[in-house]
Structure formats: structure tokens, C-alpha cells
A and B are shown apart, each in its own frame.
Chain A
């Protein structure tokens, strides 16, 4: 008696043939049910038998009997074991199949949502949790998964929003700098300024972080807020004038307001393109600063200035805007 019917065979004509087919069907059904129950038993026996359980469910499914509820349960159970084994992708696919066979299989929705969450497929997780809750609104487990998925979704949205706002801010500042014909080069003293960046206040005026380096003693002074309309003279008064706190490293009291001379190095760095300025502005203030910047910026190697490098003396009343451009 043939157990498998080749494709394209004629519909059975005789009663005998029909009886054979019925017998085959009955066999398949009982096999399928038996495989499923074996699988359930293996699951209860613990971790060591999970792969056996999977095999059983697979065989049960392989019988391809027309009972949709049965097939759904088999897929859903296999999903469950796959979840236990950490095979989240397979568990998700099994849950999807289970749902195809029975759209009312609440367990399938739960297991699918759980797998999707583990895979960080947030929209799918939300979708499955929602559909499951439609069928069983009081299901606390489904609700928990749904809430977790929602929380992650909100956090992702919030982060996207923060990132795009930061990008907008950086682009605006870059445009303002371009409008003032300010050229930005790569930073040389990041470690001394905590990677601080210029910032824009609510009147669209720019504030700069400025570093005074005392070359003779290798000490630096960091001015956090140098308003673009401030003068160097004013800040020198604050740092070195009468009434300023004494400088601990200035043991011979040489750095007085009258004696201090201020110089800057012109054309000290290659101007960055706008794209690179935006990228530089988006680096974290601290932390990431200390990572090596190994990207395509270094392609120019040692910077050979097209314009001569000069040490230029600053008249004390020059304003930052004149200086940086």
C-alpha cells in the first residue's frame, strides 16, 4: 500500500482507493497528535530535552494535517521552546505561523511579542501585543510586554528627536560662523578645554571658549565664556588686573596687567569644511573627546600652511570677532 501519493495523480475512483486514503489520513492525524504530545512531555522534562521537543513539534507540523487549531498549537509550542532556548528569530517566525493558522491564538501573540522584543523589532512587538490584548484584554503578561515595547519606542523616538535637534543646532551655528567669515581648524588643546565648543545665546550672539597659554611656565587659563563682543583687554583686566586672585604658579609676581603681552598664531590650522565643522560641534563635551579621531580628517597628514604662520601681538582691545576672522 503506497503511503505517499505522487503529485498529479488521478482522484481515486474506486471504493478501495478511497478507503486507503482515509486510512492514510487517520494515520497521519494520530501521528501528529502523538508527536505533539511527545513534544509537550519533553518540554516538561527540562532543558536537556528541549531539542527533542523541537524535533517532535517539527514532525507534528510535518504531517500537514488539515486541523488548523492543531497546527497553530504546534507552532506556538515550538515558538515557546525556541524562546526558552534563546532562538528568538525562530521563535518569532513560529509565532507568525501559529497566528496564520489560528488568528485567535493568544499564546502565539504573547510568544511572538516576546521574541520580537528580544530582537528589538519594536513595531512588530507592539503589533503582536496589541492584537493579543484585543482577544484577551486582561492578559497581564501581554500587557507587560506591550508596555515594555512602548517604553523602548518612546525612548527611541526621544533619542531621534534629541539627535535631530542637536544636528539642527550645530548646522545653525555653522551657518552663523560662515556668515561671520570665521574659519575653524582642528583643535590643538582639547585636553585643556574639556572639548568645549562655541555656543549661541538666545540673541543669536556667539560665545567662545578661549585658552590663554603661558608658554614660559606651561600653564594655561581657560576662559569659559568669551562673548563675541568682549574685548581681550577686559578679560586681561579680570585675570591679571588689580583685585584679581593671585596666580599660584606666578611665584615671582611677574604676570601683572602692565607686563602681560598677548600673542596669537595666525593661520595655525587648515580650515575645516562646513560638514566637518558640524561634525566637530556634535562631539560630546567630555568623554568622546578622548577617543582618537581616526576618520578621513587625517588624510591631509601634517598641515603645511599655505599662508605663513605668524605670531602676532594682540592689541588689548581687539574684539574676538575681528580676531577669529
Chain B
């Protein structure tokens, strides 16, 4: 009972006209939200606490920052997310993202990550069902994601976690449709991020492409017409470190031949990225057009040499699954990949 009373008071103070009281209340909530138990306590009062916290987001940094952090922590709880969607948290977050001088970008992005973790939230963020606005939120987020990449920004990578949002929304069919929509060009914007220094970004791109490839049957042109960016994004992380011979690279397009002819290439260190790249290739190879395109760029040879260097068991397994699809060749004089 005492717990409830405390939280009721907190909710009351969050709405207090006195800025000092508000600040104190926010800081308490922020502190509580830092632990799992605290989150559990707070979520029981989500409906009372959430809206005042959202309102505080437009205030000065000293209050809005802790409020934002508290919201992010709270949104790890599914019940809170459910409530947050109902009170327009998605729309409010999108309004605040990218505002000049805002210090809340990173928190708002992370809030959207948590909200898009559940289908209802992802759908709301995608603006599914809204004929005019569908996909515009995502387009905006991707613009910031690509424009302010970690290689340019010296300090904090504010939009890093858009990568996770993309993975979440592409779990839904409508999300895949938006990302693969050629007129929006989202796929082409995110693929180059496979080179990013941020492992979050790299994992996000690989995971998003992998999710999209589940619809390879319906959207093959969207994927293959982006070949110039798609194959490097999927194959360079898997290609190993050795320099490729001229015999091999002669059959490859420049965007693969050039990097693979260079010495001292950086290996993709994260096994999750390598596994997702393999799975994306697997899904593409299930389509005849995908297989034909893959053979045309000498893809099997890259997998062959990459597999030789691979040591992570999960990645090796993923290689072998792809290899099974390539056994037998495509009717050309290419060698079959040894599984």
C-alpha cells in the first residue's frame, strides 16, 4: 500500500506547477527506472506516470533528459509500451527527433526501438493503414541514420539505434514493403552502413536485409536492382582476408573486384553480422533469379574462400546451409562450392 501511495504522489508531483518539485520527481522516477524491480513497480502506475513524463520532454534539458531516460527504461515493459502507443508516444517522439539543438535524439530513438519491439508499436511507427503518410516516419529516420553516421560525428552516435528500429519493423510484412519500396530508396541508403565502425549499425543493416529477403519471392527486383550495393554488403563481410586472384576478380563487378583485390582488408569481426549475411544470401538463392544473379558475379567463389577462413561454428553452419543450395552449379562452367 505504501508503494502505491509513493507512486501516486510521484505522479502528482510530476504535474506540479513548481519546477523544482517536478525536477525532483523526475529524478526519483529516473532512479527507480534504473533497476528491473523499479521498472516493475513503476509499470503498475504506467497510465498515471507516462503522460506527465512525455509532457516534460519539451522542457529544459535538466528535466527533459532524465525524463527521457526514464521513459526509455520504462518502455522495456510490454504493458507500458501498450499504454504509450495509446497516448501517442510514437508521434511525440517523431516530433522531437531531429529538432535543432535537441539533446534527446538518442533517447527518442531508443524509445522507438522499445516501442517497435511489439507488433502494434511497429505498425504504428510504420503508419500502416494511413494511405498518405505510410512509411514517412521510417523515411525520416533513415535520412538521419545515413546523414549522421558514426564516421562523421566525432561524439555520440545519436542515430545508431535506428538500425534496431529497422530490424524490428521489417519483422512485419508492411515494414518489408516500405523498406523495399524502390521509390523511397531506403534500401540503398542503409546498405552502405555495412562498413560502419559501429557494430550496432552493421548488425542492424545485416538483420534488416535478412528480414527483407524473406519476401525475396515478391520483391526480387527491389533487391536485385540494388545489386551494386547489395552484393558488397552481403559478401564483403564473408569474403575473408586473403587477396583474391585476378582470375577470380575478372568475373566480378568492380564494386566487389576492387575491395577483394586489396591487401589488409578488415575482417567483419562480429559473428552475428556474418550469420545474418549468410542467411540473407540463402533466402536470395531460393529464387531462381537470385541464383542466376549470384553466379553471374562469381558469388560462389567468394563463399568458398570465405568458408576456408571461417572459424566460428555458428557462421560455419550458416555457410554450409548456403553451400547446399549451390551444389550442382547453375549450368555454367562454375565450380560447385564444397559444403
Contact = CB atoms under 8 A, between A and B. Distances in A.
B221 interface: yes
Interface stretch (A43-51, A164-172, A197-205, A301-309): A197-205
A98 B9 CA distance: 99
A209 interface: no
B61 interface: no
Contact of A229 (B182, B257, B296): B296
A229 B251 contact: no
B253 interface: yes
Contacts of A233: 250-251
B197 interface: no
A46 B287 CA distance: 74
Nearest to B220: A203
A317 B224 contact: no
A229 B224 contact: yes
Nearest to A206: B221
A227 B292 contact: yes
A203 B297 contact: no
A317 B289 contact: no
B227 interface: yes
Contacts of A201: 288-289
A317 B254 contact: yes
Interface string B146-169: 000000000000000000000000
Contact of B332 (A176, A234, A317): A234
B131 interface: no
A316 B249 CA distance: 12
A230 interface: yes
Interface string B265-301: 0000000000000000000000111001101110000
Nearest to A203: B220
Contact of B221 (A204, A243, A317): A204
A203 B288 contact: yes
B263 interface: no
Contacts of B182: 179
Contact of B225 (A180, A227, A237, A241): A180
Given A243-B333, A317-B251, A319-B227, A230 B296 contact: yes
A231 interface: yes
A205 B289 contact: yes
A265 B220 CA distance: 30
Count chain B CB atoms within 10 A of each CB in A233, A237, A238, A241 and give the residue with the most. Answer: A233
A30 B258 CA distance: 108
A321 B220 contact: no
B252 interface: yes
Contacts of B250: 233, 316-317
A47 to B, nearest CB: 68
Nearest to B251: A233
Interface in A157-196: 176, 179-180
Contacts, number: 56
A229 B253 contact: no
Nearest to A316: B250
A319 B293 CA distance: 10
Nearest to A317: B253
Contact of A205 (B221, B251, B252, B257): B221
Nearest to A237: B333
B217 interface: yes
B292 A230 contact: yes
Contact of A227 (B217, B227, B289): B289
B302 to A, nearest CB: 15
A231 B231 CA distance: 14
A149 B295 CA distance: 55
B254 A229 contact: no
Given A229-B289, A317-B254, A234 B296 contact: yes
Contacts of B287: 203
B252 A229 contact: no
Contacts of A238: 332
B224 A205 contact: yes
Contacts of A241: 333
Interface in B216-232: 217, 220-221, 224-225, 227
A180 B222 CA distance: 11
Given A229-B227, A231-B297, A243-B333, A203 B221 contact: yes
B333 A229 contact: no
Nearest to B227: A229
A38 B295 CA distance: 88
B224 to A, nearest CB: 6
A203 B297 CA distance: 19
Contact of A204 (B220, B257, B297, B332): B220
Interface in A230-276: 230-231, 233-234, 237-238, 241, 243
Nearest to B216: A203
Interface of A: 176, 179-180, 201, 203-205, 227, 229-231, 233-234, 237-238, 241, 243, 316-319, 321
25 contacts: A201-B289, A203-B220, A203-B287, A204-B220, A205-B221, A205-B289, A227-B292, A227-B293, A227-B296, A229-B224, A229-B227, A229-B293, A231-B251, A231-B297, A234-B251, A234-B332, A237-B332, A237-B333, A241-B333, A317-B251, A317-B253, A317-B257, A318-B253, A319-B253, A321-B225
**What 9 A-B pairs come out closest when comparing CB atoms?**
A229-B293, A203-B220, A203-B289, A205-B289, A231-B296, A204-B221, A230-B296, A317-B253, A234-B296
Given A231-B253, A319-B296, 10 more contacts: A204-B221, A205-B224, A227-B292, A227-B293, A227-B296, A229-B293, A231-B297, A238-B332, A317-B252, A317-B253
